[in-house]
């Protein structure tokens, strides 16, 4: 749809054109009608038209002045002059302004104007098509240049440096002047990459858009070079003229990075994080600096956070075993879900991410820890009738492993817990199963003590015999079987995660008689607690090998 602006101080002319021309069938719309050149120019600054139809003789700003000013901002503007003046001087000025047609009002025919507008539409379509082709060719050229640069980077990083002089010379072709300066490598991460790239349809579109914005600032930074080391990252090389990286050189680089962050946020609504590596003075040291940055940056970023500009240093992780906290953390999260305590989710997840940040566990271990916890929570609640997880195992696994920072991981866990709340609430609110859901939740909350059928029936205000029949009918197992199964699963969990004795297990699960507990465990699992523990240990050792 093309936009047309009508300007004439004779209102009947404006009215005639507005109503007589079949604008819609021409795929055009009248953007505005103005009796003043000044008002028309103000409107054009807000939204430029494709076609201008204007009179010449108007107060304050005549049509020729209006055309000249609008052409400054819109050189491709199509212009028709409607005039009462059959004056050669006016016509001469119109030619100088590249006016497309000059029509005398006394000879004006709608058919002629419609034909002229159709011609304009065809010309504008041809211009736009040609412009799109040029832009596409420019994009292909730029993508090819970046692809060749990336090949050079792959050669530098992953092949033996047999001929450094030759590679130094090759680097010059890509703007890296190692003979005159060293370079400071900076790795760019697009924050929340998975979420962000969906807005751009593909990863390539996103990376290309970010590269374009960066390249606009390259001229200002004086020699900065951009590479794409992977489909999700960009590598920037800042020229450093001195043998050692000075404070001023680092400050200049950080200032440029801040400008890039602001521009990306302003134009693309994309947030990025920059990790600044170490200065490389020659091709050998530059290779080492870039390799070190690429190898450890993902892990370093996990604790660094998002939207930052920070110096990279190889992280030192604690040797302590995060899984010593597993049983406690799992129990706390389980109680939060069972009690539907949404107000405690932030506090509990914050507590454990705080412990992780303070101790500095390896990011891979942290993700495995949370993944196992969410899987175990899901398994525990499957004993509830008709419990279905709010997320698939594949989505859970992928989401947690894709977490870029500890804070993003915490947000994911909070979101997953709230989905579990919704599922539990749905079960709880089903009228025909409300009593069963309440009974199952009661057992899960009280698994550490002796639980009787009479006690739960009284809690539900039901006759014990009726409750027994109802539970069997709805779940397919009697209440005592459910309690035993729940306690035995808890026993297996404690054996998996702790070094408790059989006597301690019995006490933790509300059994007064150790022998009775042993009998229940053997009947349920086919093994004694000691045999089960040995089996778990052998399985763990086998995986470690």
Query: What digits encode the pLDDT tens for the residues 463-509?
Result: 889 899 888 888 888 999 999 998 998 898 888 878 888 999 999 99
Burial class (CB in 10 A: 0-12, 13-18, 19+), 402: middle
Domains of the chain: which residue ranges?
A: 2-127, 160-311, 317-429, 432-545
* 488: DSSP letter: H
Strand 51-54 with 78-83, pairing: parallel
What sign results for the dihedral spanned by CA atoms 425, 427, 429, 434? Answer: negative
Where are the extended beta strands (E) located within 191-297? Answer: 225-230, 233-240, 272-276
Residue 531 has pLDDT above 80, yes or no: yes
Q: Using CA atoms, how far apart are residues 317 and 359, in angstroms rounded to an integer?
A: 8
Topology (CATH level 3) of domain 432-545: Arc Repressor Mutant, subunit A (1.10.10)
In terms of C-beta distances under 8 Å and separation of at least 24 residues, what long-range contacts does 433-437 make, across chains too? 433/385, 433/386, 433/474, 435/460, 435/462, 435/467, 435/470, 436/385, 436/470, 436/471, 436/474, 436/475, 437/384, 437/385
pLDDT tens for each residue of 367-410: 999 999 988 888 777 655 455 454 567 778 888 888 999 999 99
Helix (H) or strand (E) holding 483: helix 479-497
Strand 233-240 with 182-190, pairing: antiparallel
**Does domain 2-127 fall into CATH 3.40.50.2300?**
yes
Q: pLDDT band at 58, cuts 50/70/90?
A: confident
Q: Using CA atoms, how far apart are residues 412 and 401, in angstroms rounded to an integer?
A: 11
pLDDT tens for each residue of 167-222: 777 777 767 777 667 889 999 999 999 888 888 888 888 888 898 888 877 765 56
Q: pLDDT band at 420, cuts 50/70/90?
A: confident
Total residue length of the chain: 545
In terms of C-beta distances under 8 Å and separation of at least 24 residues, what long-range contacts does 341-344 make, across chains too? 342/418, 342/421
pLDDT of residue 316: 85
Strand partners, 102: 81
pLDDT of residue 404: 92
- To the nearest 10°, the Cα dihedral for 336, 341, 343, 345? 20
Q: Using CA atoms, how far apart are residues 131 and 62, in angstroms rounded to an integer?
A: 32
Report helix, strand or coil for 78: strand
Q: What angle do CA 172, 174, 176 make, to 5 degrees?
A: 50
CB 237 within 8 A of CB 183: yes
pLDDT of residue 391: 55
Helix (H) or strand (E) holding 308: none
Q: pLDDT band at 90, cuts 50/70/90?
A: low
Helix (H) or strand (E) holding 95: helix 88-96
Contacts of 186 (CB under 8 A, 6+ apart): 235, 236, 237, 238, 253, 257, 274, 275, 276, 277
More confident residue, 541 or 159: 159
* 280: DSSP letter: B
Q: What angle do CA 183, 185, 208 make, to 5 degrees?
A: 115
CB 281 within 8 A of CB 243: yes
pLDDT of residue 545: 44
CB 453 within 8 A of CB 480: yes
Q: pLDDT band at 50, cuts 50/70/90?
A: very high
Q: How far is CA 294 from the centre of its chain?
A: 21
Q: Using CA atoms, how far apart are residues 406 and 412, in angstroms rounded to an integer?
A: 10
Q: What is the mean pLDDT of residues 215-232?
A: 75
| Residue range 160-311, CATH number | 3.30.70.270
Report helix, strand or coil for 187: strand
pLDDT of residue 359: 93
């Amino acid at each position: 749809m093309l936009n047309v602006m009508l300007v004439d101080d004779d209102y009947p002319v404006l009215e005639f054109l507005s109503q007589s021309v079949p604008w819609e069938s021409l795929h055009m719309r009248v953007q505005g009608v103005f009796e003043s050149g000044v008002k028309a120019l103000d409107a054009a600054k807000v939204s430029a038209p494709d076609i201008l139809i204007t009179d010449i003789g108007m107060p304050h700003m005549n049509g020729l002045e209006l055309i000249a000013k609008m052409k400054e901002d819109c050189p491709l503007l199509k212009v028709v002059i409607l005039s009462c003046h059959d004056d050669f001087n006016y016509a001469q000025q119109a030619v100088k302004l590249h006016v497309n047609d000059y029509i005398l009002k006394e000879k004006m025919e709608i058919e002629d104007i419609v034909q002229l507008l159709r011609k304009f539409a065809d010309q504008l379509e041809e211009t736009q098509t040609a412009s799109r082709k040029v832009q596409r060719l420019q994009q292909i050229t730029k993508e090819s240049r970046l692809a060749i640069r990336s090949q050079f980077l792959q050669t530098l990083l992953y092949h033996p440096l047999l001929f450094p002089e030759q590679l130094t010379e090759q680097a010059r072709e890509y703007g890296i002047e190692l003979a005159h300066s060293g370079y400071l490598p900076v790795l760019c991460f697009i924050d929340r990459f998975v979420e962000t790239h969906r807005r751009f349809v593909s990863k390539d579109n996103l990376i290309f858009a970010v590269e374009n914005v960066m390249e606009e600032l390259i001229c200002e930074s004086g020699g900065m070079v951009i590479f794409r080391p992977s489909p999700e990252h960009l590598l920037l090389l800042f020229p450093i003229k001195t043998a050692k990286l000075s404070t001023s050189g680092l400050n200049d680089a950080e200032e440029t990075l801040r400008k890039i962050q602001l521009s990306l946020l302003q134009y693309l609504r994309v947030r990025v994080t920059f990790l600044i590596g170490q200065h490389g003075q020659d091709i050998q040291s530059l290779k080492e600096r870039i390799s070190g940055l690429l190898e450890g940056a993902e892990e370093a970023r996990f604790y660094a956070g998002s939207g930052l500009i920070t110096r990279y240093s190889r992280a030192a992780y604690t040797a302590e075993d995060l899984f010593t906290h597993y049983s406690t953390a799992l129990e706390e999260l389980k109680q939060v879900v069972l009690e539907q305590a949404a107000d405690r989710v932030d506090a509990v997840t914050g507590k454990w991410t705080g412990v992780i940040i303070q101790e500095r566990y390896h990011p891979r271990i942290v993700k495995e820890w949370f993944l196992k916890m969410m899987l175990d929570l899901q398994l525990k609640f499957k004993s509830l009738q008709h419990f279905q997880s709010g997320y698939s195992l594949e989505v859970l696994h992928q989401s947690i492993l894709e977490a870029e920072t500890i804070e993003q991981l915490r947000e994911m866990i909070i979101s997953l817990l709230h989905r579990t709340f919704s599922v539990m609430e749905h079960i709880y609110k089903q009228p025909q199963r409300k009593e069963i859901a309440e009974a199952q939740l009661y057992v899960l909350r009280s698994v550490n003590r002796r639980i009787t059928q009479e006690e739960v029936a009284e809690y539900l205000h039901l006759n014990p015999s009726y409750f027994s029949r109802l539970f069997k009918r709805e779940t397919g197992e009697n209440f005592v079987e459910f309690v035993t199964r729940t306690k035995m699963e808890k026993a297996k969990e404690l054996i998996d995660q702790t070094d408790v004795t059989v006597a301690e297990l019995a006490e933790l699960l509300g059994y007064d008689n150790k022998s009775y507990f042993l009998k229940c465990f053997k009947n349920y699992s086919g093994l004694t607690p000691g045999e089960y523990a040995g089996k778990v240990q052998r399985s763990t050792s086998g995986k470690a090998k």
